Amino acid sequence: MRKLMIPVLVVTIALLLMSVFVIQEGERGLVIRFGRVLDDNGISKIYEPGLHFKMPLFDRVKTLDARIQTMDGRSDRFVTSEKKDVIIDTYVKWRIEDFGRFYLTTGGGNVLTAEALLERKVTDVLRSEIGAREIKQIVSGPRNNDVLPDSVDSEEVTTEAAKEALEIDGERDKIMENVLEGTRDSALADLGVEIVDFRMKKINLPDNISDSIYKRMRAERESVARKHRSQGRERAEVIRAQAELEVATVLAEADRTARVTRGEADAEAAKIYSDAYNKDPEFYSFMRSLKAYEKSFSNKSDILVLDPKSEFFQYMNNAAGAPAK
Element (H, E) at 87: strand 85-96
Domain boundary among 185, 205, 225: 205
Domain boundary among 12, 47, 65: 65
Containing domain of residue 160, as a range? 69-205
pLDDT of residue 141: 67
Q: Does the residue 268 lie in any domain? A: no
Same domain, 31 and 114: no
Closest CA to 63 of 33, 21, 93: 21
Same domain, 51 and 81: no
CATH of the domain at 196: 3.30.479.30
Cα 44 from Cα 62, distance rounded (Å): 12
Same domain, 105 and 173: yes
Largest Cα span, the chain: 188
Scored b (16 or more CB within 10 A) or e, 18-37 reads eeebebeeeebbbbbeeeeb
Scored b (16 or more CB within 10 A) or e, 289-313 reads beeeeeeeeeeeeeeeeeeeeeebb
Q: Does the residue 318 lie in any domain? A: yes
pLDDT tens digits, the chain, 325 residues: what are they? 667 777 777 777 777 777 888 889 989 888 888 878 877 766 778 888 988 888 887 888 888 999 999 998 788 889 999 888 889 999 999 999 999 889 989 888 899 999 999 999 999 999 999 999 888 888 876 655 444 444 444 444 444 544 454 445 578 899 999 999 999 999 999 999 999 999 998 888 777 766 777 788 889 999 999 999 999 999 999 999 999 999 999 999 999 999 999 999 999 988 887 887 787 777 777 777 777 777 776 666 666 666 666 666 666 666 555 554 4
Cα 80 from Cα 85, distance rounded (Å): 6
Same domain, 15 and 83: no
What is the CB-side half-sphere exposure of residue 251 using CA atoms within 13 A? 6
